């Protein structure tokens, strides 16, 4: 199948979904975009997308991509039996939200009842890479699910990790990544503010530690936000309240203790609880500074 014959829809035109849907359009794929924000849909139409409601175009879709916030929103779409039964047998659902692996397995079984493939496909990379068609996908699913999603994956992703032949491992690996990402952001904030408490300025800490064994991807990416005092939200505090919450919930269900994730989650909760939920996730540094009586840059 060429991209010209391929039809896709993207549910959720947020910072990731909009870029991914636009990448499909750029690749020549007929793409329908859905979002609760009319303004966002209008923007997508201006970028070459189509806006017909999902229910009206379901029968034409080769691929339905869900770039929504969580399991509840994913479920609210996939449990519309009328929508799924209108889709062509052999079409694929590509589910990108961060969800528990057990939930992904349940959704796969549900879609298979409708003769639809399901790709457990959490994403990573941020909005800039989404707009460039260069996201990473942590994917698992049947060979048929991968094959049915291939033209869309080619258009949206730079890297597709193939993690297993059924739903579950994709979501599990995303949770592993979010565990580390969340802990590392909180650790960067803890380290930079601890340095401040000892008279070391934030810019020096960021510059020196980036060249030492204490560095991390998140330290190098978020550290400068703290050193510059710029909390423009690239990824919000609320995202890590959600994602570390999912990590801790999954771990709890499995009776697996995760003390660092739990401690980091509490710091993000303190940030969100004190009104910083919509700021950049590096604003967790403000919780540390407040508790230590320090002034941030």
Tell me the catalytic residues: 174
Cα distance between residue 34 and residue 288, in whole Å = 39
- Take residue 207 and report the two structure tokens written for it: 């510059």
How many residues bind to a copy of itself according to rule CB under 8 A? 69
Cα distance between residue 95 and residue 118, in whole Å = 7
Does 175 help bind a copy of itself (rule: CB under 8 A)? Answer: yes
Residues 199-218 that bind a copy of itself (CB under 8 A): 199-200, 204-205, 208-209, 211-218
Stretch that binds a copy of itself, among 59-67, 75-83, 89-97, 251-259 (CB under 8 A): 251-259
Stretch that binds a copy of itself, among 46-54, 69-77, 173-181, 274-282 (CB under 8 A): 173-181
Does 163 help bind a copy of itself (rule: CB under 8 A)? Answer: yes
> Which CB, 89 or 293, lies closer to a copy of itself?
293
Cα distance between residue 194 and residue 140, in whole Å = 40
Does 263 help bind a copy of itself (rule: CB under 8 A)? Answer: yes
- Take residue 122 and report the two structure tokens written for it: 């959490």
Does 97 help bind a copy of itself (rule: CB under 8 A)? Answer: no
Beta bridge partners of 140: 120
> Which CB, 11 or 139, lies closer to a copy of itself?
139
Cα distance between residue 16 and residue 27, in whole Å = 17
Count Cβ atoms below 10 Å from residue 101 Cβ, excluding itself: 20
Burial (CB count within 10 angstroms: exposed 0-12, middle 13-18, buried 19+), residue 211 = exposed
Does 219 help bind a copy of itself (rule: CB under 8 A)? Answer: yes
What residues contact residue 47 under an 8 Å CB cut-off, 6+ apart?
22, 25
Stretch that binds a copy of itself, among 25-33, 49-57, 89-97, 192-200 (CB under 8 A): 192-200
For strands 123-124 and 135-139, give the pairing: antiparallel
Footprint of a copy of itself (CB under 8 A) = 101, 124-125, 136, 138, 159, 161, 163, 168-169, 172-173, 175-181, 183-184, 186-188, 190-195, 197-200, 204-205, 208-209, 211-219, 221, 247, 250-251, 254-264, 266-267, 288, 291-294
């Amino acid at each position: 199948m060429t991209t010209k014959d391929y039809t896709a829809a993207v549910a959720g035109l947020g910072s990731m979904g909009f870029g991914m849907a636009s990448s499909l359009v750029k690749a020549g794929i007929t793409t329908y975009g859905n979002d609760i924000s009319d303004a966002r849909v209008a923007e997508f139409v201006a970028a070459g997308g189509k806006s017909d409601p999902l229910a009206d175009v379901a029968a034409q879709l080769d691929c339905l991509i869900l770039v929504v916030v969580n399991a509840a929103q994913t479920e609210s779409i996939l449990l519309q039996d009328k929508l799924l039964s209108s889709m062509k047998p052999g079409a694929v659902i590509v589910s990108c939200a961060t969800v528990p692996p057990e939930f992904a397995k349940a959704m796969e079984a549900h879609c298979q009842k409708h003769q639809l493939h399901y790709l457990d496909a959490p994403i990573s990379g941020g909005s800039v890479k989404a707009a460039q068609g260069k996201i990473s996908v942590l994917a698992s699913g049947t060979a048929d699910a991968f094959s049915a999603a291939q033209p869309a994956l080619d258009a949206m992703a730079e890297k597709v990790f193939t993690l297993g032949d059924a739903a579950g491992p994709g979501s599990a690996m995303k949770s592993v990544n979010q565990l580390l990402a969340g802990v590392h952001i909180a650790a960067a904030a803890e380290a930079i503010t601890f340095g401040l408490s000892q008279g070391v300025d934030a810019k020096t800490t960021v510059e020196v530690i980036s060249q030492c064994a204490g560095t991390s991807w998140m330290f190098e990416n978020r550290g400068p936000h703290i050193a510059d005092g710029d909390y423009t939200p690239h990824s919000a505090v609320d995202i890590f309240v959600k994602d570390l919450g999912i990590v801790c919930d999954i771990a709890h269900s499995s009776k697996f203790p995760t003390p660092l994730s739990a401690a980091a989650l509490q710091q993000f909760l303190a940030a969100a609880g004190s009104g910083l939920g919509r700021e950049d996730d590096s604003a967790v540094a403000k919780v540390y500074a407040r508790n230590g009586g320090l002034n941030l840059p």
